[in-house]
Structure 1
Amino acid sequence: MSESKKVRLSDGEKGNVIKLTCISVEGVMRRRLLDLGFVPGAIVEVVRKSPLGDPIAFRVSNTTIALRKDESIKIEGELMD
Structure 2
Amino acid sequence: MSRRRAWTPVDSAFLYRSHSARDRRRVSVHVSDLGRAKLERLEALARAHEQALAERHVDTVQNLSALLADLWKGIR
TM range (shorter): under 0.3
Using the size of structure 1 for normalisation, the TM-score is 0.22
- Relative to the length of structure 2, the TM-score reads 0.23
Higher relative contact order (CA 8 A, sep 6+): 1
Give 1 or 2: higher helix fraction: 2
Rg larger for = 2
Q: More strand by proportion, 1 or 2?
A: 1
